[in-house]
Structures are given as C-alpha cells and as structure tokens.
Amino acid sequence: MIFLSQKHIPRRTFLRGMGATVALPFLDAMVPSRRLWARVKADVDRTRLVCIEMVHGAAGSNELGASKNLWAPSAVGRDFDLSSSSLSPLEPFRDYLTIISNTDVENAEAKTAREIGGDHFRSSAVFLTQMHPHQTEGSDVKVGTSFDQIYARRYGQDTPIPSMQLCIENVDQAGGCAYGYACVYTDTISWASPTEPLPMIRDPRVVFDQLFGAGGTPEERAQRRRTDRSLLDWISSEVASLKRELGPSDRERMDKYLDNIREIERRIQLIEAHNTSGELRELPGAPAGVPDDFEEHVKLMFDLQALAFASDMTRVFSFKLGRDGSGRVYPGSGVNAAFHPASHHGGQESRVLDFAKINQYHVSMIPYFMEKLKDTMEGDTHLLDKTMIVYGSPMGDSNLHNHKRCPLFIAGGANGQLKGGAHIKAPDGTPMANVFVSAMHKLGLDDIAEFGDSTGALGF
C-alpha cells in the first residue's frame, strides 16, 4: 500500500451529477500520512454485517431430518461432512463457515392460549430481536431492538445510510394479518426500537437510487432515467478528472467498481423494460424493478449489497428471503411443490427430502454473495474477511411449527474474529440469543452481556 505524506483524497468522496451521487470505493490515494492513518483505518476495517432470515425452519430440524443430518452435520469441530446437508453449497467456503446447531428460539413459541397457531405471524419479529412480540392487530406493536440495529446504532452512524433492510417477497401489508397479530410482525426482521419496525425494500431500483441517486430529487432521477443514459454519464467529467490524479492500481479499481455499477444499472433497466412491456408476469403485483425469477432477484440484491459495502455507503443489511406462508415455487430447487405446502411434509421421508432440497437451494444463493465479497479488495484484504453474515430461521420443524433445533450459521471473517471451519453443537435448551451475544462481542459490542432471553454467551 502506498502512503502519501502530504495529500490524500478524503475517504468520504462523492462524484456528483444530475440525480446521481456516487461514493468512491477505498483507494490507495485515500491513505493519509501515518499520523492520521489510525483514524482512517478504524473506519476502513469496520466489520460489515448482513443478517439473512430463511423463513419457516428447515427439514433438518425435525426428528427424521436430524437423524439424516439434513442441516447440521453429524461431526462437531472441524472435521464435518456437508455432503448430506442442505449446507453442502457452502463447502467451497467451509473455512469461512461456522455452523451453530441445536439452539432454540423460545420467545417465538406461544405463551398464551390465544397465541397458539400464530407462529407464522410472530416468528420473523423474533429472529433478530429474540424477544416475544406483544400480540396486537393495532399500532401498539412491541417486541425488541434487533441485533442489526444495535450494531448500526453503534457503528453505522458515520455512514451516509446507517442500515438498509431488504426483502424478496411482498411485505407491504397493513393492519392485522391473523391470530391477532399485526402484519408488521411478519413483514420485517429489523426493529430500531421495541416499538419501531423498519420497512423493508423489495425493489432493486429503489435500493439502487438510494445508493447512487441520493444527491438528486425524485424528479431529477426520473428525468435521468427517461434519457436512457447511465447515471455514470452524468459524472463522466468528474471521473476523468479524478483518474488523472490516481495511480495505476487505483485507476483499475475505479474502473472495476464503475463497471459493476453500470452492469447492475443495465440489469435493472432490462428488468423494468420487460416488466412494463405488457407481457404476462409471474408476479403481476410486483414493482417493475422486481424480477419474476427468485434467483435473479436475490443475486441482484446481493450485488447491490456488495457495492454498498465497497463504497461504505452502509455497513449493515438485513435481508428477508421469503414469507412463512408463501406459495412460491422454486424450479431451481428441483422440487415442484410450493414452499408452504412443502414445508408441511407430515414427517414423510420423501417430502422431508424435498423440503431439504428447497432449503439447499436457498443456501446456494449465499456462495454467490461470498464470492462477490471475496472479489472486492479493500486495503490489504477483501471484503469477505471484513464481513459477518448471519443466516438462519427462528423456526425449527416447520411441520410442527416448533422453535427447537433452529437452523443457523455464521459466515465470513469479521476482521479476524470468526475462525470458521467449525461446527458447534449447543447443549440442549440453549437459546439462540446466546449466539447473538457472542456475535455482538465479535463485532466490538463487548459491553453487551444480555440479549433477548440469553443465559450467557455461546463461545465460537
């Protein structure tokens, strides 16, 4: 790395044009003198956090699935075998993988007779809060501050966007859903406070505009899109001017970063053009920027997250992959049954195995994201080394709607805090909240000793 003695580009540098504001990735030219480097390095090395909810449990959480190791491998420690597990797509990244099995989410269980049957409409709110929601169909919702928001409150306030909340399926319902629960409990996994649910963004266009169009008004952004020009066209002179001041490696890094922005923009434009062409859509009520194809949608959202991390626009994402009661079919899984019916497998072996294939398909989206992060350099290492990915579900056996043996893994390097390559089986009855306490410590929140119904920290 090159250290400049007198002059450097500020880390928070933006290139601006009509309706476009593009933050730069970290460049060698942003490294100040050694005297000031410690202050900059703290921001550069701040861990990124992504929390992903896989709804409605896993096939490996029921008795048959656990005996066949359909989620957690049989061996604990480092010599685990993923070949029979829904986690097998993560094998290329096993050194970045920490599987934590056999934890329970007790606060997602019904506490009163009136709450029985409401697991679908309660569970998502519990995943990142590990608190029991107040049953209401009104505005007096209450659960807890979520894990992602605790981190964002501490380490996300110096980024342009403290955190972002994304989803794949429709989550814009209002009022009451069922079993006496407000829809917001199942519509979001992020809570800024016990009474402040955060809305989730489904449309990649909205995410793109928030990341790269914040400097203009909605009218300016709409006008820019009508010209069929890339937002990069509006900042081309600033790009050219800046590149004249950069060294060869920084110019290469800039070109790659801007190419990625343009490619994502182009993909969104193609999706919007197709979805407004009058052709019959698989998702007729979805915004124009939402792809009908699940995999295309998920990967586009992951691409946007990787760009946001590279530009340090935000360091915190929550990502909800589905809805418990979804009737969506995932052809890429090799299973023709809709998600919710498949999850109610009745304990029949063939149907349990089919649900495991759907779980595996969902997990198979994660290596794409991890590869993107690994391919993005920042300073002396890549973003996968600087990221913590939490992936799991607040439900265990979807057929029984219980919250035992809930699926969970943590991936990434978290700036050296995650050793990876390990399967940890928690003692029976261990709250999943214990995992979040340890995760907070690895994120620098050492002063937090309790979270949800935790009974301590689960070391990993």
Radius of gyration of the chain (CA): 22
- 169, 187 Cβ separation under 8 angstroms: no
Task: Tell which residue, 359, 410, 369, 444, has the closest CA to residue 84.
Answer: 359
> Which run of H or of E encompasses 23?
strand 20-23
Fold of the 49-202+290-442 domain: Alkaline Phosphatase, subunit A (3.40.720)
Residue with tokens 């978290």: 414
The SS3 of residue 15 is strand
pLDDT 10s digit of each residue in the chain, 460 long? 333 334 578 888 888 877 788 999 999 888 875 555 556 666 678 999 999 999 999 999 999 999 999 999 999 999 999 999 999 999 999 999 999 999 999 999 999 999 999 999 999 999 999 999 999 999 999 999 999 999 999 999 999 999 999 999 987 666 678 899 999 999 999 999 999 999 999 999 999 999 987 555 666 666 666 666 788 888 888 999 999 989 999 999 999 999 999 999 999 999 999 999 999 999 998 999 999 999 999 999 999 999 999 999 999 999 999 988 899 999 999 999 999 999 999 999 999 999 999 999 999 999 999 999 999 999 889 999 999 999 999 999 999 999 999 999 999 999 999 999 999 999 999 999 999 999 999 999 999 999 999 999 998 9
The token duo for 151 is 């981190």
Which sequence spans correspond to the domains of the chain? 49-202+290-442
The token duo for 323 is 């809805």
State how far the Cα of 144 lies from the Cα of 394, in Å rounded to an integer: 15
DSSP state letters, 127-164: HTT-SPPP--SSS-------HHHHHHHHHSTTSSSS-E
The token duo for 344 is 């109610």
The secondary structure of residue 283, as a DSSP letter, is S
State how far the Cα of 305 lies from the Cα of 169, in Å rounded to an integer: 17
The dihedral over CA atoms of 288, 290, 291, 296, expressed in degrees to the nearest 10, equals: 150
State how far the Cα of 314 lies from the Cα of 160, in Å rounded to an integer: 7
State how far the Cα of 361 lies from the Cα of 86, in Å rounded to an integer: 8
State how far the Cα of 253 lies from the Cα of 276, in Å rounded to an integer: 35
Tell the burial category of 44 from Cβ atoms under 10 Å away from its Cβ (0-12, 13-18, 19+). middle
- 412, 370 Cβ separation under 8 angstroms: yes
DSSP state letters, 334-363: T--S-HHHHH--TT-HHHHHHHHHHHHHHH
Tell the burial category of 129 from Cβ atoms under 10 Å away from its Cβ (0-12, 13-18, 19+). buried
